[in-house]
Structure 1
């Protein structure tokens, strides 16, 4: 257990600017002052040196999170409902899309608890509420990371080996189960305080794994989870997408050489190949969002454990939390807007969601042929 420490202004003589402004001085309300005494021992003394955020800061964050919650639940629900109610979409490739939507939905359902915590300016449900909030974030974050890797692997197999490389349904389901198993160790271990633990951070209205407690155990846990939850998925993603790009370049080079031998200007790749590449571009966009959303959190944990903690102000540490939840909100809309089959099916269910321009008969024929090839690409 921690011993609460009183920090005076002299301890922060060299802090400047915005960071200095957040340090509590004599007479200021200290961060965590509205939290039950029994729970204060779970809050690292680092946070207790800062001023309590103003009520409007809690209010603004609550408004942002409420908006993210609404858009995220709507988008992920549309993806999941479309997947489970449209038989042609229930393909091995799209199982990974649905799995990502499930992890993102878990992330979304943390947000009402955050809003309630913001109202009371602390943890409404105490330690158990903090632990449940953090374990949900752990599963959704690590699960989404490794699912992005599986999506990259599936795209690579489909594009590089279109005839015999596509994953079967059993293999896809097995990989989905693997994503849940992947997220389990470093969600369960801190939940039961077997190794490390979950603790409040920032404004003390959110919780994550403890990266501030001094000691080799915390440092080792932080390094291991950093590699497990961030570096390994990122390396797998980079590996598979680099191979996709390499394969596309080789394929285009082969087509140019063949066209030159046949004395024609160019050879079409075919609608099916174009559809696969289009879907891969959507997946790459999702991965880019994953990097933008989770890199700040990874950096915060490393700074908190090994770096200059003077940088770790409550306000600074809240930005990564907002970033990862924003990505979980945006993911389904990327698929809904850009994934050909999902967009078509969602448009049928919610026609007012997408505004489509009128098409000529020629463009209708071309679009129908393209949709057919995309359906073949998805169903194969």
Structure 2
């Protein structure tokens, strides 16, 4: 499908504008909360900024983030992945000799790679969004616990790691990508 230049510009504007709009509530004043963490190595006090949203707004905001930035994209990615895999895995011809056989094998490799990319996205972002949404609705305040910092550090690390995973997946699973990559470097 050939996309027009104006459609591409509209998509790019939307891709940048929507996340910026979603982040605007954090421009609202926050309060700094001191948390003291202790271990056998000593005591450390960390200041953490938390937005001063009302509980109702906070729950609605994080629920909307969960739905629009995780659940809907995940469903769309899963549906697209299923459609791509279905197209790639259907038999190209009854004759399985020569070039047609290679083409079918390449299609299957691409389908597997797409599935791995989707799995990596899901495995990376699910813990972040689950903890985020659960902490919005729980009665016991998770934020006051000493394990909050370590837990959130790990969860954020894996979520952001997803951005760098795809090139490694491509290098591992695609000979053509590997060859092209080695020609560049």
Question: Aligned in 2, Cα 1:218/1:169: closer, same or farther, shift over 3 Å?
Answer: same
Separation of aligned partners in 2, 1:282 and 1:199: 44
> Retained in 2: the 8 A contact 1:290–1:327?
yes
> Retained in 2: the 8 A contact 1:191–1:198?
no
Of residues 348, 351, 365, the one that matches 2:183 is 348
Of residues 3, 14, 21, the one that matches 1:178 is 14
Deviation (angstroms), 1:322: 1.7
- Write out per-residue CA displacement over residues 62-95 of structure 1, whole angstroms, 9 at most, x where no aligned residue: xxxxxxxxxxxxxxxxxxxxxxxxxxxxxxxxxx
- Write out per-residue CA displacement over residues 254-294 of structure 1, whole angstroms, 9 at most, x where no aligned residue: 74xx45xxxxxx45645455445434433332221111111
Separation of aligned partners in 2, 1:182 and 1:277: 35
**Greater C-alpha Rg:** 1
Separation of aligned partners in 1, 2:158 and 2:57: 28
- Write out per-residue CA displacement over residues 5-63 of structure 1, whole angstroms, 9 at most, x where no aligned residue: xxxxxxxxxxxxxxxxxxxxxxxxxxxxxxxxxxxxxxxxxxxxxxxxxxxxxxxxxxx
Structure 1: runs of 5+ lacking an equivalent:
1-165, 260-265, 351-380
> Retained in 2: the 8 A contact 1:222–1:301?
yes
Partner of 1:240: 80
Of residues 310, 314, 318, the one that matches 2:153 is 318
- Write out per-residue CA displacement over residues 136-191 of structure 1, whole angstroms, 9 at most, x where no aligned residue: xxxxxxxxxxxxxxxxxxxxxxxxxxxxxx4447455654443223323202x224
Separation of aligned partners in 1, 2:64 and 2:113: 30
Of residues 144, 163, 173, the one that matches 1:328 is 163
RMSD: 3.7
> Retained in 2: the 8 A contact 1:219–1:306?
yes
Of residues 46, 58, 69, the one that matches 1:229 is 69
Partner of 1:296: 127
Q: Does 1:218 align with 2:58?
A: yes
Question: Aligned in 2, Cα 1:175/1:214: closer, same or farther, shift over 3 Å?
Answer: closer
Separation of aligned partners in 1, 2:84 and 2:34: 39
Which of the pair is proportionally richer in strand?
2
Structure 2: runs of 5+ lacking an equivalent:
38-45
Normalising by the residue count of structure 1, what TM-score does the alignment of the two structures yield? 0.37
Q: Larger relative CO (CA 8 A, sep 6+): 1 or 2?
A: 1
